[in-house]
Chains A and B, each alone.
Chain A
């Protein structure tokens, strides 16, 4: 693992990590900007140059302008405004960026918008941008929302992801997307099949907010490493001390009666 200094030496042409935050003032429901803070701080703590830009309604998206695209969640009204703009102006550039190895992280409402479509409780379907092979349907205003602490086990990661979920929509995956993880505590995609989130190439969608990245530093670093390695192949990240995050994780896992190790079977199995 390289140290911050070696990393800096290897990366000479401007910011090593370029983050693009989509609709920061429209889709910002559950502390979503915390994810951006974490990406930025963790890069800075390692001496890694980082740049954050934002793209809002009506603004063009440059697929080569960033290596990490983030989309948060919003209420139905905001979702509708965003969905319209995403499909009209950003679908093509986002698909190009993903085809070229960029990372996309989409949380909650953003997760629903990167699928094929979202059918809200009332009103017309919202088209998605199709970065992930999934669709989401809200069973109606009377249906209960899926709310609570959420713990999932992710393939290839030693520790589970921890967060909170709050969504009315039920998401189902098509053959083109893999689930991000297996639900240990909580509901996940639809509260029925035991799966949570979705991934394909370097696109990640999830209902985990809380927000997601602060309490899951290993996952944050995995995404940072993937994003930086798009232009700097072979790049690795120096480790950080994550005592605060570790303690916050332990407390929540203990409260939920979920063992911290990987051996436990998912509760829904």
Chain B
């Protein structure tokens, strides 16, 4: 009875906030429902026939969750998933309430939830997930989350809540992730890249895990792909990259247009050639993570490959938009390691006439923008003719570009989003315009594009 009331009030809240255009009602319905019935998460999620998958990690949560949902849909399942960014308990409850009737019967059969890294221990006990995916662990918004060790500790502490038959899908190339999840109950399935041709010439400045988390000795890296992802080993205690259960081999990167690779399970199982419109090595990791979870959920490998080929990106994540007669590509850029990968991808097609960078320091972006100094913007010098910067921290971004070696005349500050978009489009000279925003800057830019009629409202996704 109380559950029905909670669902009814949650649904009414969703309708109301949608009518008032309050950001699509992504968290309020869940908050209201939980206030009436605190057990709304376990009560609704346990009725999902195929159980739930949660996706945690610094980068790639939204893309990985959407990839997995897409694969599940291709298999005829009906995913219930939370909206991008609504990844605290209230956002997950909102999704469950929205996809349930008044008796608590779900309209979907599998839950796929992206979960904020720090929220994992608060939601896992309620959801009892069948699969937990850990994508990677980077320093992100230290002002919000505190230290990276703290997050790893929270993940470790979720162990008891995992079902004994649960599966942990983890990035084996990330020493921080592996160290955090190696002790968890349930079966561990690792994914990673096995293609050293794509290794970086030197370990990046942004690499977090240079020192063994067991004994403090510097890791010996045979190579890295980006950040601290790679083949590592501690020369003192022997901790190192685990055997990889699902690998990406023979990777071909097609610049900003996507990538292809061979998906290879260990032990000589059937392989599949994967083609995706998602660009860059960081997306190869996202595709690997989603594929590993899909295989664990019973998807045949050829069906996984088939589904991935028809995947269209989530908004702001390599999304393509046509506006003002030109093509825009939005690539969310929210922390140094991710930003470096985006820059490499953007520049892989040769010099560009223009790029738009939008930096905000709202709470969801992180209020501290010192991370801009950890990004290798030096890459842009001499390779991008004109950089338009906007957002609340446009001036800080311009200052960073000056020290990165860009000429004063190559940097244009536009305080407002719409003039910034217009200025950058005018400079793009018919080429696709790459737009690199932080999270809330992306929402703001998308609002402009929506006014222009180029994209739909974000809750329609």
A interface residue numbers (CB < 8 A to B):
25-26, 28-34, 37-38, 41, 57, 75-78, 81, 145, 147-149, 164, 166, 209-211, 214-215, 243-245, 247-248, 250-251
Contacts and interface: CB of A to CB of B under 8 A. Distances in A.
Interface string B377-412: 000000000000000000110111011000010010
B211 A214 contact: no
Given A25-B210, A28-B205, A75-B147, A34 B403 contact: yes
Contact of A247 (B211, B372, B413): B413
A109 B148 CA distance: 15
A59 B372 CA distance: 29
Nearest to B150: A75
B403 A33 contact: no
Nearest to B144: A147
B396 A209 contact: no
Interface residues on B, range: 20 to 34
B235 interface: no
Given A147-B143, A248-B396, A211 B149 contact: no
A75 B373 contact: no
Contacts of A245: 399
Contacts of B374: 28, 31, 33-34
B402 A164 contact: no
B237 to A, nearest CB: 15
B302 interface: no
A244 B389 CA distance: 12
A209 B395 contact: no
Contact of A81 (B148, B205, B211): B211
A18 to B, nearest CB: 20
Q: Which 9 A-B pairs have the closest CB atoms?
A: A34-B373, A31-B373, A31-B370, A248-B395, A30-B370, A75-B147, A244-B399, A164-B368, A247-B395
20 contacts: A31-B373, A34-B373, A37-B403, A75-B147, A75-B148, A77-B149, A147-B367, A148-B367, A164-B367, A166-B368, A210-B368, A214-B373, A214-B399, A244-B395, A247-B395, A247-B413, A248-B395, A248-B398, A248-B399, A251-B395
A32 B370 CA distance: 8
A30 B399 contact: no
A33 B370 CA distance: 10
Given A34-B400, A210-B368, 17 more contacts: A30-B142, A30-B370, A31-B370, A33-B373, A38-B403, A57-B218, A75-B147, A75-B149, A147-B367, A149-B367, A166-B142, A215-B396, A243-B408, A244-B402, A248-B399, A250-B395, A251-B395
Contacts of A250: 395
Nearest to B368: A164
